[in-house]
Homo-oligomer: A and B are copies of this chain.
Amino acid sequence: MSEETPRTISLAVIPGDGIGPEVTAEAVKVLLAVTGGSPVRFELTEYPLGAEHWLETGETLPEHTLQALKEHDAILFGAVGAAPGDTLVPSGLIERELLLKLRFSLDHYVNLRPSRLYPGVHSPLAAPGNVDFIVVREGTEGPYAGNGGVLREGTPQEIATEVSLNTAYGVERVVRDAFQRAAARPRRHLTLVHKHNVLVNAGRLWKRTVEKVAHEFPEVTHDYLHVDAATIFMVSDPSRFDVIVTDNLFGDIITDLAAAITGGIGLAASGNINMDRTFPSMFEPVHGSAPDIAGQQKADPTAAILSAALLLQHLGFDDEAAKVERAVEKDLSGRDGTRRTTAEVGDAIAA
């Protein structure tokens, strides 16, 4: 971006439930701070969606809201979901009817989840080594397609099915994206994670697609790991990973594990990205709404702030994104165990 071009970014903000609003406020603070004095201007529109909103209105994601969201340049998402004990909100409803519906409706086929162990951050691993990889999780199909059904529910003859849908179209575009990201990284290595010895139909498609797309990227080396073996390496030798590409469900599982070994989900950022830019991409911390600590300024806003950095990167503001990352890095390396409020952490990073 030239320093001279004035540009207005229309940003939808969905703070959500629990700690969502608190951490999102800090991410917005940092976005405004890093672009302050530059020709970039953020125009914010807040959308009150989530479990609270559902309780008040019965709406999860109305069609007109979805259409309105499509008009923005990007979406900043906090966290959604009711407290586990909240019996008024059907379990998983908001996650499915809001979060997953956004990912699917806005064709967020790249669910990007970087995992880096920042200097000074405590890992539960005794000898983590230099952990710095990204997971490119497929975001629009697989077991998340929401297929399956139930026969004879509640009887001893009940049968329940889940259907994983995998298409050449869906797999190829995310595999190509992962190769592109691998080609742009120093180590240029890609690992496919699947379970092709058991899930043979989907597995063959994923393997064949990686072999095929690999020809377009002769500079990128690649290997394969079963998902079970991948979890072993995640704790025994996580520095072996550079770029991982995997399906929606395996990606869900291994990115939580990846977050855990790099300091916890309080630090894990993610982007739900539509690389074709037919619809806005959405950036959110990997963590949930953590209702138990909501409203107490106890939540760590770092994951939300790093998600804002991914947003900046996606919009082409690489310098600003790097600035935010450096500020986070500095803040993390200086942490000495003193308790700070959510806003204090945000202020420190913004400063």
Q: List residues of A whose CB falls within 8 A of some B CB.
A: 91-92, 95-96, 100, 123-127, 143-144, 146, 148-150, 152-169, 172, 195-205, 208, 227-229, 231-232, 234-236, 249, 252-257, 259-261, 264-265
Contact = CB atoms under 8 A, between A and B. Distances in A.
B148 A159 contact: no
A228 B252 contact: yes
Given A124-B125, A148-B164, A160-B166, 17 more contacts: A92-B197, A92-B198, A125-B126, A126-B126, A144-B198, A146-B198, A146-B200, A148-B200, A152-B168, A158-B168, A160-B202, A160-B204, A163-B164, A195-B249, A198-B249, A231-B254, A232-B259
Nearest to A142: B162
Q: Which of A144, A166, A200 has the most CB of B within 10 A?
A: A200
A256 B236 contact: no
Contact of A169 (B154, B156, B228): B156
Nearest to A288: B229
The 6 closest A-B pairs by CB, nearest first: A92-B197, A228-B256, A158-B168, A231-B257, A160-B201, A162-B164
Given A235-B125, A256-B232, A259-B232, A158 B150 contact: no
A177 to B, nearest CB: 17
Contacts of A153: 204
A197 B96 contact: yes
Given A127-B124, A235-B125, A260-B236, A96 B198 contact: yes
A245 to B, nearest CB: 16
A95 B199 CA distance: 12
A136 to B, nearest CB: 17
Nearest to A223: B84
Contacts of A229: 256
B257 A232 contact: yes
A152 B205 CA distance: 11
Given A159-B166, A167-B158, A148 B201 contact: yes
25 contacts: A91-B196, A95-B197, A95-B198, A96-B197, A123-B126, A124-B125, A124-B126, A124-B236, A125-B235, A143-B162, A146-B198, A148-B199, A153-B204, A154-B208, A156-B168, A156-B169, A156-B172, A157-B169, A158-B168, A160-B166, A161-B166, A228-B253, A231-B254, A231-B260, A232-B257
